C-alpha cells in the first residue's frame, strides 16, 4: 500500500495549540488564545434557539443543497440561488475549486505570504503554484498580473490578507480584473469581509455582474462566531458554481450548521456590534504598539501583524509559558507576530504579557 508519490512530502497542517493543552503543560489557571482569529464575543443568541430545533433530527440527513440557507444568503447578497455553494468551512470551497479547476501542469498564482490552504490544495492536484511577493505586506496585483501565463487557471486574492491584514482597494482590484484574461478564475477570499471599515475596500459580490471569472469566498467562522460548526460559502457565476457542485460530497454541511448559519445571518445587530468592538480593539492594540515603538501592517480583519523587531518565535514561546497564545513562525516574516483582536480584557492581558516577554528578551535585534 503506497500513498500517491506527490503527496508523500506534503506537510500536515499545524493548528495552534489548544487552550487545554497549554494549561496542562505549563500548570496555568487561565490561558488566553489569540491565535486563530476567532470571535471573542461568541455568536448570536438566535443561533442557540435555531440549533435546539434541530436536536431531535439527528437521524435524518441534512438538506444536501442547503436550500433554505442558500435562499437566505442569495437574498442577503442580491444574487441568484444557483450562484451560491456551501462547504465545510470556506476551506472546503477552496479544496473543491482546486479539485474542479486545477490539474497537473496548470498554474495558479497567489501571494508569497497568504492563507496556506490555496497552495496545499494546488499541491494535492499537482498544479504549480506561483507565489508572488507581497509589497509592503499587500498583494502586488501588478506583479500577479505579470505572472499570468497561458497555463494560469486561478489567481487567489486574500482580501483582507491573512496573515498581514492588508487590503487591496476597489480601484486596484478593478484595474486588475479589467486586464486579467477572462479565462482565468479570480478567487476573492473575503473571510474577514464583515470586519472591514475602510471605504476603499471592495465588496467582491458586487463585481460578479461585470466580471464572470470572479468567485467570492465568505465564511460563518469569523464575525458570525460559528467556527466550530464548519460552514462557509462561495459565490460566482452559476456555471462555475455548478462545476464546483459536481465535485462536492452530497451532504457536506450538517443540519446544525445550516440552521445556525441562517439564524446568524439574520442577526445584523450582533454582526454590527462585533465590528464596532473589533475596531475599538484594533485602536487599542495599535496604540499600545505605538507606545512600544513597534510598527505593524494596517489591520483590516480581526487580527494585527506586528513587527516585534526580535525573533517572534522566541517571544511566542515566552508568552506561551505565561498563558498567552498568539501566532509566530511566519517563514518570510520571522520578526512578526500575528495577534487576534480579543475582548478588551484579553487585549490587556496580551499587551501586559507581550511587554513582559519583550523586556525579558532584551533589546531589539
Ligand X SMILES: Cc1ncc(COP(=O)(O)O)c(C=O)c1O
Q: What residue number has its CB nearest to ligand X?
A: 89
Given a contact cutoff of 8 angstroms between Cβ atoms, the answer to whether 324 and 31 are in contact is yes
- Of the residues 107, 123, 125, 189, which one makes contact with ligand X according to CB under 6 A: 189
Degrees, nearest 5: CA angle 133-296-347: 130
- Please state the closest distance from residue 24 (CB atom) to ligand X, in A: 25
Task: Kindly state whether residue 225 participates in binding ligand X, applying the rule CB under 6 A.
Answer: no
Task: Kindly state whether residue 43 participates in binding ligand X, applying the rule CB under 6 A.
Answer: no
CA distances (Å), origin 89, targets 41, 105, 195: 20, 28, 18
Task: Kindly state whether residue 346 participates in binding ligand X, applying the rule CB under 6 A.
Answer: no
- Of the residues 162, 166, 258, 278, which one makes contact with ligand X according to CB under 6 A: 162
User: What is the DSSP pairing of strand 336-340 with strand 152-158?
Assistant: unpaired
Task: Kindly state whether residue 227 participates in binding ligand X, applying the rule CB under 6 A.
Answer: yes
Task: Kindly state whether residue 89 participates in binding ligand X, applying the rule CB under 6 A.
Answer: yes
Task: Kindly state whether residue 38 participates in binding ligand X, applying the rule CB under 6 A.
Answer: no
Collapsing DSSP to helix, strand or coil, 187 comes out as strand
Of 268, 241, 217, 193, the C-alpha closest to 80 is 241
Q: What is the DSSP string of 191-205?
A: TTGGG---TT---GG
Runs of H (alpha helix) within 292-330: 312-321
Angle (deg, nearest 10), helices 117-124 and 89-101: 40
Query: What is the distance of C-alpha 202 from the center of its chain?
Result: 16
- Please state the closest distance from residue 191 (CB atom) to ligand X, in A: 4
Using CB atoms within 10 Å of the CB of residue 365, give its burial: 0 to 12 exposed, 13 to 18 middle, 19+ buried: exposed
Task: Kindly state whether residue 357 participates in binding ligand X, applying the rule CB under 6 A.
Answer: no
Determine the Cα–Cα distance for residues 86 and 63; give it in Å rounded to an integer. Answer: 11
Task: Kindly state whether residue 155 participates in binding ligand X, applying the rule CB under 6 A.
Answer: no
Q: Which stretch binds ligand X (CB under 6 A): 52-60, 83-91, 148-156, 328-336?
A: 83-91
Task: Kindly state whether residue 90 participates in binding ligand X, applying the rule CB under 6 A.
Answer: yes
Determine the Cα–Cα distance for residues 55 and 151; give it in Å rounded to an integer. Answer: 48
Residue among 137 and 358 whose Cβ is closer to ligand X? 137
Task: Kindly state whether residue 219 participates in binding ligand X, applying the rule CB under 6 A.
Answer: yes
Residue among 108 and 162 whose Cβ is closer to ligand X? 162
DSSP 79: -
Task: Kindly state whether residue 221 participates in binding ligand X, applying the rule CB under 6 A.
Answer: yes
Determine the Cα–Cα distance for residues 320 and 247; give it in Å rounded to an integer. Answer: 41
Task: Kindly state whether residue 91 participates in binding ligand X, applying the rule CB under 6 A.
Answer: yes
> Can you read off the three cell numbers belonging to residue 128?
504549480
- Of the residues 109, 191, 241, 320, which one makes contact with ligand X according to CB under 6 A: 191
- Please state the closest distance from residue 241 (CB atom) to ligand X, in A: 17
Task: Kindly state whether residue 194 participates in binding ligand X, applying the rule CB under 6 A.
Answer: no
Cα first-last separation, the chain = 49
- Please state the closest distance from residue 355 (CB atom) to ligand X, in A: 27
- Of the residues 86, 101, 115, 289, which one makes contact with ligand X according to CB under 6 A: 115
Give the interface size with ligand X as a residue count (CB under 6 A). 13
- Please state the closest distance from residue 21 (CB atom) to ligand X, in A: 20
Q: Which stretch binds ligand X (CB under 6 A): 87-95, 147-155, 178-186, 321-329?
A: 87-95
Residue among 245 and 311 whose Cβ is closer to ligand X? 245
Residue among 160 and 281 whose Cβ is closer to ligand X? 160
**Alpha-carbon torsion angle 275, 277, 278, 284, nearest 10:** 150
Task: Kindly state whether residue 232 participates in binding ligand X, applying the rule CB under 6 A.
Answer: yes
Residues that bind ligand X (CB under 6 A): 37, 89-91, 115, 158, 162, 189, 191, 219, 221, 227, 232
Amino acid at each position: 500500500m503506497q500513498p500517491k508519490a506527490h503527496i508523500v512530502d506534503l506537510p500536515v497542517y499545524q493548528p495552534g495549540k489548544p487552550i487545554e493543552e497549554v494549561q496542562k503543560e505549563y500548570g496555568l489557571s487561565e490561558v488566553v488564545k489569540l491565535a486563530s482569529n476567532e470571535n471573542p464575543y461568541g455568536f448570536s443568541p438566535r443561533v442557540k434557539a435555531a440549533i435546539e430545533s434541530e436536536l431531535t433530527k439527528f437521524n435524518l440527513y441534512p438538506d444536501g443543497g442547503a436550500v433554505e440557507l442558500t435562499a437566505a444568503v442569495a437574498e442577503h447578497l442580491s444574487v441568484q440561488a444557483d450562484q451560491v455553494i456551501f462547504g465545510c468551512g470556506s476551506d472546503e470551497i477552496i479544496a473543491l475549486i482546486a479539485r474542479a479547476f486545477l490539474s497537473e501542469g496548470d498554474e495558479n498564482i497567489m501571494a508569497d505570504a497568504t492563507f496556506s490552504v490555496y497552495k496545499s490544495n494546488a499541491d494535492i492536484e499537482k498544479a504549480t503554484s506561483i507565489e508572488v511577493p507581497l509589497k509592503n505586506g499587500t498583494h502586488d496585483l501588478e506583479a500577479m498580473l505579470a505572472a499570468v501565463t497561458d497555463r494560469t487557471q486561478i489567481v487567489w486574492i486574500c482580501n483582507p490578507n491573512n496573515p498581514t491584514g492588508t487590503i487591496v482597494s476597489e480601484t486596484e482590484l478593478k484595474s486588475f480584473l479589467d486586464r486579467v484574461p477572462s479565462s482565468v478564475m479570480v478567487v476573492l477570499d473575503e473571510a474577514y469581509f464583515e470586519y472591514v471599515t475602510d471605504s476603499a475596500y471592495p465588496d467582491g459580490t458586487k463585481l460578479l455582474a461585470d466580471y464572470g471569472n470572479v468567485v467570492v469566498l465568505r465564511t460563518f467562522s469569523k464575525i458570525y462566531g460559528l467556527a466550530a460548526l464548519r460552514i462557509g460559502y462561495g459565490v460566482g457565476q452559476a456555471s462555475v458554481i455548478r462545476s464546483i457542485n459536481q465535485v462536492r460530497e452530497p451532504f457536506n454541511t450538517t443540519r446544525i450548521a445550516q440552521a445556525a448559519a441562517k439564524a446568524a445571518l439574520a442577526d445584523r445587530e450582533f454582526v454590527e456590534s462585533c465590528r464596532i468592538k473589533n475596531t475599538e480593539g484594533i485602536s487599542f492594540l495599535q496604540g499600545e504598539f505605538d507606545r512600544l515603538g513597534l510598527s505593524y501592517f494596517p489591520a483590516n480583519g480581526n487580527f494585527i501583524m506586528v513587527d516585534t523587531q526580535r525573533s517572534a518565535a522566541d517571544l511566542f514561546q515566552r508568552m506561551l509559558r505565561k498563558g498567552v497564545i498568539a501566532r509566530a513562525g511566519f517563514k518570510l516574516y520571522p520578526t512578526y507576530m500575528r495577534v487576534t483582536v480579543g475582548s478588551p480584557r484579553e487585549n490587556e492581558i496580551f499587551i501586559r504579557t507581550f511587554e513582559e516577554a519583550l523586556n525579558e528578551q532584551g533589546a531589539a535585534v
